[in-house]
Structure 1
Amino acid sequence: MRPIQATIHLDALRHNLAVAKHRAPNSKVMAVVKANAYGHGLLRAAEGLSQADGFAVLELNEAISLREAGYLQTILLLEGLFDRTELVDAAKYDISIVVHCEQQIEMLEQVNLSTSTHVFLKMNTGMNRLGFIPETYASALTRLEKIKSVADITMMTHFATADEDAGIVAPLARFKEVTKGFDYPTSLANSAALLRYPASHSDWVRPGILMYGASPVSGQSAHALGLQPAMTFTSELIAVQVLQDGESVGYGQKFTAHKTTRVGVVACGYADGYPRHTPSGTAIAVDGQLTRTLGRVSMDMLFADITDIPDAAIGSQVELWGAQVPVDVIAEASGTVGYELLCAVAPRVPFKVIG
């Protein structure tokens, strides 16, 4: 069996949840576990986040899986429902739904439900993905108030620049102006807003990437924010090559040695979820020592410089990302974000749960 493995640390998930609760002590925490819990595994992550006040997912089958696993918390469908047949199942399993367009209100108006449902009404405050524009939000809220099957309403929005210099001042002001006078709970803060803007904490906060120990804020490391990585992606060296001055390694000969160089061949490649476009020189750890990658990432292998790690040999442990090599470091080198890398770990990689 190939030595590659992703380890999920339940204690890290618990720790990160505690950070969220500490930062927003007066809010309920809805842990975002969409996209198979950002690649960590829905039910694996839910175990570590079992003390969250709620879970947010994308698909109805994810929500039902959580219910059938025994989770009684609020479970929210972040994109709502896509057809009226789903509405019956959502009500049956007591799944809360985001309503972000007129068609979804029409579903609620037209379907005769035997049980009531919980609605999060979304306002578009500048993200321009989902939600009612401020000018139509009040009328949408009024329509929902008249629907007998709507048990309760939470007002929500999502910030486009909570992690950037632009911040949330303008969209938060817009949201507050439109909802002034409506006595409903609110849900505003994503991970970045939770950490940076206490004014956004309100009744519910919705941390996503924060839960998994990666940074939601550009320029600030997860460690500096007090977070712990919930995933460690590891493998081993499966071969060692010695390059002489002028020799190259890998496809395209993207690395050429200018001195005698020991190269460790790592059993991991882009088919495992390590990004192909990660440049030569990116951080990697071998036997607990930081070093660098060399050359181009292959489908099933990549290369590490072990020149200064004389004891490194076949079987030496390699950390691709985790506590020693933050996933955000790999993401930045690759021109992407940690979210993508965590979500992209391939199905062929075995997972282990500890803690």
Structure 2
Amino acid sequence: MKLGIVGLPNVGKSTLFNAITSAGAESANYPFCTIEPNVGVVTVPDERLDYLEEMFSSQKKIPTAIEFFDIAGLVKGASKGEGLGNKFLSHIREVQAIVHVIRCFEDENITHVEGSIDPLRDIEIIDLELILSDLEIMSRRLTKTEKLAKNDKSLLKELEIIRKIVEVLEAGKAVRTLEFSDDDQKFVKHLNLLSNKPVLYAANISEDDIISEETNEYLEAVLNHAEKEGSEVITICGKIESEIAELEEEEKEMFLNELGLTESGLDKLIKASYKLLGLISFLTAGPKEVRAWTIKEGTKAPQAAGKIHSDIEKGFIRAEVIHFDDLKNCGNMTKAKEKGLLRLEGKEYIMKDGDVVEFRFNV
């Protein structure tokens, strides 16, 4: 999974990136300190793997991972070359979703590039820059496709879709507000348009607000905006996340408990990202390794097997499946088999989150 972190300068993007990846991205109180995109890989915490590792006495544990791309702070006119320019928007065209960090706290020691705290204005600035960047690209493609379509009638459907996209972009609206057929959506997805990517808002609030779970006026504005467009919002506190990042693993839970928090911002971000993209994890376990694999919700067993190796998908015979909760309740695989909880599933089986699977195949 690849996620791009965007936002105006000094809203807490790089602070969040540093905290969740412990990658040491440069963070400073002035715009454009992030010149090239920082890329960090975060392993997804999964207690189920810890349990299976012990149960199977596995030699190693391999969790699934998320790649975060920390993009330079955007400003008005970025799509036209202002600040660090449109070049830097290209760094997030390959991501699956966008995490939009918004500042929702007052602090006179941290400057705001627009001179005041106004989350809705900040959202509008970023949205418009993504839309304008898409418009520039699609306008060029429209001109090219119109010329080609004069001699190639097979391009007429493509031309129709492009015109539809350009029209909505010229109206200042995101491509994700459009509806497409399944076939058309495949073509649109291939375009990698920024304004077509799902968005998760990360509201950066103060330490007091996150501990008290109070909603200030800035956060309220973001929540209302997100509800209208059908997006998700998570709350984070960059300061707290930075402190968590410096702690040893066993100290983190203690620190969160002292603050009265049940999970870190990273945990919230991972859960929300999986939900946003419709992803689940299945597990494989044995003496050599235990491993988590990320797939789309609704994936059938052979295609899930293909995540491990294409040969397993091609030669798929059946899947031996037990849900992690059932296996844990039994304590070991032998008892699970005695209770008839280990099932044989065929090609039409739809995988569930937490399935522990062994694929049988022949090549």
Same fold (TM over 0.5): no
Which is richer in strand?
1
Which is richer in helix?
2
Q: TM-score range by the shorter chain?
A: under 0.3
TM-score with structure 1 setting the length: 0.25
